[in-house]
Amino acid sequence: MGIKFNNVSANPDLKDLNLTIKENEITVLSGDVTKEIIADLIIGFKRVTGGEINLLGEKINNKTTSFANIQSKIGYVFLNPQDFLTNKNIKQEILFGLKYYHFKDLDNRLLYYTNLVGLNEVDLNKKSLEVSLSDQKKIMLGAVLAIEPEILILNYIDHGLNIKDQKLIKGILRDLKKDKTIIIVSNNTNFFLDIVDRIIVFHHHKTILDGNKDMFYEKKMAKYLDVPNIIKFIKIANSKNPKLMITTDIKELMKDIYRKVNEK
């Protein structure tokens, strides 16, 4: 189920936002602080002051005081692990939501979601805030996925992830989008480029750009976001006239370079 903003306002700066976020896609919100405001409105951290959000069959407006009916259907991964990781160890972090929402078969669910995010049984007794930042991000993701949300919001999930864990989490997100609405809040174009379906860029609380990753080949995109390294490379190379293919897939690019070299 998608999310629809109808003339939504929120103090102090957001006014009359119209936006639809589709299900079964990975949508990246980038640019100014509007991206965080939108995430906060969806999860209920911020109140709607005008207009209405259609969210999981509920209408959220300035009269809404509780998200209880849909709270378990929305998963939110925080930027700062210290805002989320408050339990004794990793095991308790992942079990917390499962117990709170009265899931059954806790042991199997615990092991499944622990393994899914690249952790194992040995890790379960470790203190959450004493492991690496990259592992803390995986703990939060595992705990959130364990409650099986329909909407998944990832607030700078890329921050602090090592290269190996970036690849792992991007693979997880690709698999998850077939039955979830996934929103990534980030300006890290090198992280999200190869998994994003739609990018929405905000500037001065307005939607400036809205489209797919091909927008990175347009000059105006560089005014608001860093151009990913692979696209910078292709642009520079093509200025020298090798005519490399336009792609965001590093493996396809390498194949094309190999073909061009052999042609010579």
Q: Is the pLDDT of residue 264 over 60?
A: no
CA dihedral 232, 233, 237, 239 (to 10 degrees): 10
Per-residue model confidence as pLDDT tens digits over 134-172: 999 999 999 999 999 999 999 999 999 999 999 999 999
What residue ranges define each of the domains in the chain, with the CATH number in brackets? Answer: 3-221 (3.40.50.300), 228-264 (no CATH)
Q: How confident is the model at residue 17 (pLDDT cuts 50, 70, 90)?
A: very high
Q: Is the pLDDT of residue 244 over 90?
A: no
Q: How confident is the model at residue 255 (pLDDT cuts 50, 70, 90)?
A: confident
- Scored b (16 or more CB within 10 A) or e, 227-236 reads bbebbeebee
Q: Given this model, what pLDDT does residue 144 score?
A: 97
Q: Given this model, what pLDDT does residue 236 score?
A: 81
Per-residue model confidence as pLDDT tens digits over 89-140: 999 999 999 999 999 999 999 999 999 999 999 999 999 999 999 999 999 9
Q: Given this model, what pLDDT does residue 252 score?
A: 85
Burial class (CB in 10 A: 0-12, 13-18, 19+), 215: middle
Q: Given this model, what pLDDT does residue 1 score?
A: 67
Per-residue model confidence as pLDDT tens digits over 174-223: 999 999 999 999 999 999 999 999 999 999 999 999 999 989 988 889 89
> How confident is the model over 2-23, as a mean pLDDT?
94
Q: Is the pLDDT of residue 243 over 90?
A: no
Q: Is the pLDDT of residue 258 over 70?
A: no
Higher pLDDT, 8 or 249: 8
Q: Is 7 helix (H, G, I), strand (E, B) or coil?
A: strand
The answer to whether the beta carbons of residues 81 and 128 sit under 8 Å apart is yes
The pTM (predicted TM-score) of the whole model is 0.91
